[in-house]
């Protein structure tokens, strides 16, 4: 099976148009970049709550007795040790130790839900099919059919009280439950990509518009605003979370991306294991460094990074950071020594070298402002 | 929205107000709205000679870097210092406090290459 190439709009597309969103192509879908303003939407998520349409992300259902053992041989983190209703971040690597995709597994009683990046959905579908065992695992794609609505921000739990059944106030971070949202069946997970408390609601595409509209209408007075991919990118960068295609690629693997904690070399075998083991032993791999720039010019993807006069790397993401004192922050892939915290590097912006301090990530932590 | 009637416009969405031999230059409301939240403005230095329609600076929003072009030739006599600390002024007041720089106009005939308010209005109507 090939995933449909014609799926271009999420079930919430008409809602985005009605809200006056600026639509951009992203991962094969027409997605809202922003509604009113990226900075206003960022502020809503940090201080109240924002509502995101993430229905472009690939949703695969994995069924069968063999899923955990099989998935453990394809990924760097542990799958089989996950408890029922637990969610866990993971990375599928290639044989060279680069990243094929970064994903979240959700363990449900009867199946596993695997969320992959939209731009990687076809690649991942092929990858999973190619590695499917003879028996014990079946795959189903719900990409484009299911919707994913995320509510992120400190007021999320309060806003979803009475909307989600059962009560989600005791739901632990990186766990999920099966229940309802406005009486429509849903998987509700306390996960997100913003650095704030928040929930992700996996619902049927047909139910999504009503849920989206009711939440925005009923929680508007509490400060809920629709938020687009522009705000999401600033939020995740401040929170030090990698974005596939930037901090993770087929060439930039999990060790370089600072995901050492997720690389379980204790697992006897998985794709990329020997390459990662070698990288770790040699310890010369380039690192994703967090940078805070001096001056007001933002760093952008591709800008060259220097240590004195020596080129040492390249910017992978950059943005103004409202939650980091309105400074310009960036990630750069840099040589190991240049990526040491406390080092002053230079980012070349239109021919001018701007000083940038290597800092520990995340740039922003919940409750720190 | 109608464009201010006392200004001339470029196809790159700059406006210019000509007051004897001084030109004040900014970007239009349509331009600021298309860019979104403006976070950085890089302007030419005072004393620089700039040629009509040449690249004279950069305007950056959260997501995008856009080149700025001067609608007229001349010598830069003043830049809007307020934008250094408050680039979003361009979003809030594109035709007033968010002006970008001033020129001593070199050749007033060059304004014939610019658009009237009505022509600019047609240009952005086509773009939408």
Among A38, A296, A297, beta carbon nearest to B62: A38
Q: What are the chain B neighbours of A320 within 8 Å (beta carbons)?
A: 39-40, 62
* A350 contacts on B by Cβ (under 8 Å): 42, 58
- Interchain contact, A22 vs B36, CB within 8 Å: yes
A33 touches chain B (CB under 8 A): yes
Structure tokens at B106: 């070199």
**pTM greater than the 0.90 cutoff:** yes
Of A22, A296, A300, nearest to B65 by CB-CB distance is A300
Residue found under tokens 């230079």:
A346
ipTM: 0.89
By the 10 Å C-beta count (0-12 exposed, 13-18 middle, 19+ buried), B81 is classed as exposed
369 residues of chain A, pLDDT tens digit each: 455 555 589 999 999 999 999 999 999 999 999 999 999 999 999 999 999 999 999 999 999 999 999 999 999 999 999 999 999 999 999 999 999 999 999 999 999 999 999 999 999 999 999 999 888 999 999 987 899 999 999 999 999 999 999 999 999 999 999 999 999 999 999 999 999 999 999 999 999 999 999 999 999 999 999 999 999 999 999 999 999 999 999 999 999 999 999 999 999 999 999 999 999 999 999 999 999 999 999 999 999 999 999 999 999 999 999 999 999 999 999 999 999 999 999 999 999 999 999 999 999 999 754
SS3 for A325-362 is CCEEEEEEEECCHHHCCCCEEEEEECCEEEEEEEECCC
**Domain residue extents for chain B:** 8-106
Name residue A347's beta-bridge partners: A305, A354
C-alpha separations of B42 from A164, A295, A296, B83, B100 in Å:
48, 12, 9, 9, 9
What is the rounded end-to-end Cα distance, in angstroms, of chain A? 48
First to last CA, chain B: 13
Domain range summary for chain A, segments of one domain joined by +: 1-284, 286-369
Helical segments of chain B, H only: 29-35, 82-85, 89-92, 117-127
Tokens of A148: 């994913």
Is the separation of the CB atoms in A190 and A100 below 8 Å? no
Where would I find the H helices in chain A? Answer: 13-18, 38-47, 67-72, 121-130, 156-160, 208-218, 229-238, 273-282
Beta strands in A171-251 (DSSP E): 176-181, 184-189, 198-204, 224-226
Looking at residue A82, what DSSP letter applies? P
Cβ of residue A38 closer than 8 Å to a chain B Cβ: yes
Q: How many CB pairs under 8 A join A and B?
A: 34
Q: Which helix (H) or strand (E) is A151 found in, with range?
A: strand A146-152
B64 has a chain A CB within 8 A of its CB: no
**Pairwise CA distance, residues B90 & A112, whole Å:** 49
Tokens linked to A66: 């063999």
Give B-chain residues touching A33 at CB under 8 angstroms. Answer: 63
Q: Does domain A1-284 have CATH number 3.30.429.10?
A: no
Q: For domain A286-369, which architecture applies?
A: Beta Barrel (2.40)
Alpha-carbon dihedral A177, A181, A185, A187, rounded to 10 degrees: -30
In the CATH scheme, what architecture does the domain B8-106 have?
Beta Barrel (2.40)
Instruction: Give the one of A38, A297, A300 whose C-beta lies nearest to B36's C-beta.
Output: A38
State the burial class of residue A47 (Cβ atoms within 10 Å of its Cβ: 0-12, 13-18, 19+). Answer: middle
């Amino acid at each position: 099976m090939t995933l449909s190439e014609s799926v271009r709009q999420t079930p919430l597309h008409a809602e985005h148009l009605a809200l006056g969103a600026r639509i951009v192509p992203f991962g094969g879908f027409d997605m809202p970049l922003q509604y009113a303003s990226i900075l206003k939407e960022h502020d809503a998520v940090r201080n109240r709550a924002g509502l995101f349409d993430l229905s472009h992300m690939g949703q695969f259902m994995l069924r069968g007795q063999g899923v955990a053992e099989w998935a453990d041989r394809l990924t760097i983190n542990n799958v089989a040790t996950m408890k029922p209703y637990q969610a866990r971040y993971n990375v599928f690597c290639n044989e060279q130790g680069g990243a094929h995709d970064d994903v979240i597994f959700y363990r449900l009683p009867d199946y596993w839900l695997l969320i992959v990046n939209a731009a990687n959905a076809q690649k991942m579908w092929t990858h999973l099919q190619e590695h499917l065992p003879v028996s014990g695992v079946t795959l189903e794609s719900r990409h484009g059919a299911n919707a994913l609505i995320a509510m992120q921000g400190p007021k999320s739990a309060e806003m979803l009280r009475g909307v989600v059944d059962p009560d989600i106030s005791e739901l632990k971070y990186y766990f999920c439950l099966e229940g309802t949202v406005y009486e429509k069946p849903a998987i509700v997970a306390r996960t997100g990509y913003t650095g704030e408390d928040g929930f992700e609601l996996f619902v049927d595409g047909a139910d999504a518009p009503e849920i989206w509209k009711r939440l925005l209408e009923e929680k508007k007075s509490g400060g809920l605003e629709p938020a687009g991919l522009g705000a999401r990118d600033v939020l995740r960068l401040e929170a030090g979370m990698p974005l596939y295609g930037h901090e993770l690629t087929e060439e930039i693997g999990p060790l370089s991306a600072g995901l050492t904690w997720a690389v379980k070399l204790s697992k006897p075998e998985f794709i990329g294991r020997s390459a990662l083991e070698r990288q770790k032993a040699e310890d010369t791999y380039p690192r994703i460094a967090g940078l805070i720039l001096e001056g007001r010019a933002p760093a952008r993807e591709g800008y060259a990074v220097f240590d004195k006069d020596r080129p040492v790397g390249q910017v992978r993401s950059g943005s103004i950071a409202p939650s980091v004192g309105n400074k310009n922050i960036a990630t750069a892939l840099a040589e190991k020594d240049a990526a040491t915290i406390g080092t002053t590097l230079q980012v070349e912006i239109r021919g001018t070298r701007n000083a940038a301090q290597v800092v520990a990530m995340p740039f922003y932590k919940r409750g720190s402002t | 929205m109608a464009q201010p009637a006392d200004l001339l416009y470029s196809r790159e969405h700059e406006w210019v107000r000509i007051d004897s031999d001084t030109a004040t230059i900014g970007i239009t409301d349509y331009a600021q709205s298309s860019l979104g939240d403006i976070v950085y403005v890089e302007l030419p230095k005072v004393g620089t000679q700039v040629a009509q329609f040449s690249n004279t600076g950069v305007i950056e929003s959260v997501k995008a870097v856009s080149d700025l072009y001067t609608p007229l030739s001349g010598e830069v006599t003043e830049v809007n210092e307020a934008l250094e600390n408050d680039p979003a002024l361009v979003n809030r007041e594109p035709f007033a406090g968010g002006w970008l720089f001033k020129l001593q106009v070199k050749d007033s005939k060059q304004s014939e290459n610019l658009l009237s308010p009505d022509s600019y209005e047609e240009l952005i109507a086509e773009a939408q």
